[in-house]
Amino acid sequence: MTRVALVSGGTRGIGAAIATALKAAGYKVAANYAGNDERAKAFEAETGIPVFKWDVSSYEACLEGIAKVEAALGPVDVLVNNAGITRDAMFHKMTPAQWSEVINTNLTGLFNMTHPVWSGMRDRGFGRVINISSINGQKGQMGQANYSAAKAGDIGFTKALAQEGAAKNVTVNVICPGYIGTEMVMAVPEKVMNERILPQIPVGRLGQPEEIARCVVFLAADEAGFITGSTISANGGQYFV
Footprint on this chain of ligand CAA (rule: CB under 6 A): 86, 88-90, 93, 134-136, 141-144, 147, 179, 184-185, 188-189, 192, 196-197
Nearer to ligand CAA, 51 or 175 (CB): 175
Identify which of residues 77 and 154 has a Cβ nearer to ligand CAA in the complex: 154
CB 123 within 8 A of CB 75: no
Taking the least distance from each CB to ligand CAA, the nearer of 120 and 153 is: 153
DSSP summary character for residue 93: G
What SS3 state is found at 63?
helix
How far is the CA of 84 from the CAs of 23, 150, 151, 203, 216, in angstroms? 22, 10, 9, 25, 16
**DSSP summary character for residue 196:** I
The smaller minimum CB distance to ligand CAA, of residues 127 and 137, is found at 137
147 given a catalytic annotation: yes
Distance CA 36, CA 241 (A): 35
Least distance between ligand CAA and beta carbon 71 (Å):
33
Query: Is the four-CA dihedral 117, 160, 32, 100 of positive or negative sign?
Result: positive
Q: How far is the CB of 139 from ligand CAA (least distance, A)?
A: 10
Catalytic residue, chosen from 27, 33, 59, 147, is 147
Task: State the Cα–Cα distance between residues 86 and 84, nearest whole angstrom.
Answer: 7
> Between 47 and 81, whose beta carbon lies closer to ligand CAA?
81
Angle, helices 108-124 vs 96-106, to 10°: value is 10
- Residue nearest to ligand CAA according to CB distances in the complex: 143
* Distance in Å, CB of 8 to ligand CAA, minimum: 15
Residues in the chain: 241
CB of residue 178 to ligand CAA, shortest distance in Å: 6
Q: Is 78 exposed, middle or buried (0-12, 13-18, 19+ CB in 10 A)?
A: buried
Closest contact distance (angstroms) between CB of 189 and ligand CAA is 5
Distance in Å from the first CA to the final CA of the chain = 37
- Please give the positions annotated as active site: 147
